[in-house]
Copies of this chain bind each other. A is one copy, B any other.
Amino acid sequence: MSKILEEVLNANACYVADFGDKASLALPPARHFAILTCMDARLDPAKYAGLVEGDAHVIRNAGGRASDDAIRSLVISYKLLGTREWFVIHHTDCGMELFTNEIMSDLLSSSLKTASIDESGWHDCGEGSGCSDGKYINWLTIRKQEESVLEDVKRIRNHSLVPREIPIYGYIYDVKTGCLVEVPAATAAGAVA
């Protein structure tokens, strides 16, 4: 057993020992909202947004981007589990600012042995989506936080499956202070129409 696996299981045992009345939490988020944010290790949405177990959906990926998969999750969050307000929260010093699609392609092709890229490459289409030979990968890199938050709020707002009555708030988390800083243009774009 790896050291990390052992540590995680030990930590879990402590959590279980103090689980209390969390066993009775309901499936739908009690506070009816969802946060889309980055996978970055420095971000703890429960801490920076004041969540306890049962409160809110938290969706995370590289960059906190409004990918098709994030939108799949948000639509389920709303339609089946009743969330009614959404936050898009990117952050300062994000790894996604450090590279571009081109750099990522170079990195991967220069490390065939470890990345095991195969001859047909990798494409960004869902299984059964009807894609045939797409070789394009959109890594969803970020040039500037204010722009990426605005772009993602707009993408969600304009999505055909997203109801207009859900407000979407755009924020940037500052990793140096812990502060959530609004992106006013994004929140405006995400306002109820």
The answer to whether B39 and A180 have CB atoms under 8 Å apart is no
Residues of B within 8 A of A121 (CB): 160
Residues of B within 8 A of A167 (CB): 2
The proximity string for A residues 88-118 relative to B, scoring 1 for CB distances below 8 Å and 0 otherwise, is 0000010110110000100110010011111
Minimal Cβ-Cβ distance residue in B for A176: B23
Residues of B within 8 A of A111 (CB): 79
Minimal Cβ-Cβ distance residue in B for A113: B163
Residues of B within 8 A of A122 (CB): 159-161
The answer to whether B114 and A95 have CB atoms under 8 Å apart is no
The answer to whether B160 and A117 have CB atoms under 8 Å apart is yes
The proximity string for A residues 169-193 relative to B, scoring 1 for CB distances below 8 Å and 0 otherwise, is 1000001111110000000000000
The answer to whether B131 and A136 have CB atoms under 8 Å apart is no
- Asked whether any CB of chain B lies closer than 8 Å to the CB of A143, the reply is no
The proximity string for A residues 60-72 relative to B, scoring 1 for CB distances below 8 Å and 0 otherwise, is 1110000111101
Known A-B contacts A46-B44, A116-B164, A130-B123; A178 and B19 likewise in contact (beta carbons under 8 Å): yes
Residues of B within 8 A of A33 (CB): 4
Report the 9 A-B pairs with minimum CB-CB distance, sorted nearest first. Answer: A11-B50, A130-B134, A69-B69, A29-B41, A62-B73, A124-B126, A19-B178, A118-B160, A67-B69
**Given known contacts A4-B31, A39-B73, A41-B51, what 15 new A-B pairs fall within 8 Å (CB)?**
A4-B33, A5-B169, A9-B180, A12-B50, A19-B178, A23-B177, A27-B95, A42-B54, A44-B53, A58-B60, A72-B124, A72-B137, A121-B160, A122-B160, A128-B138
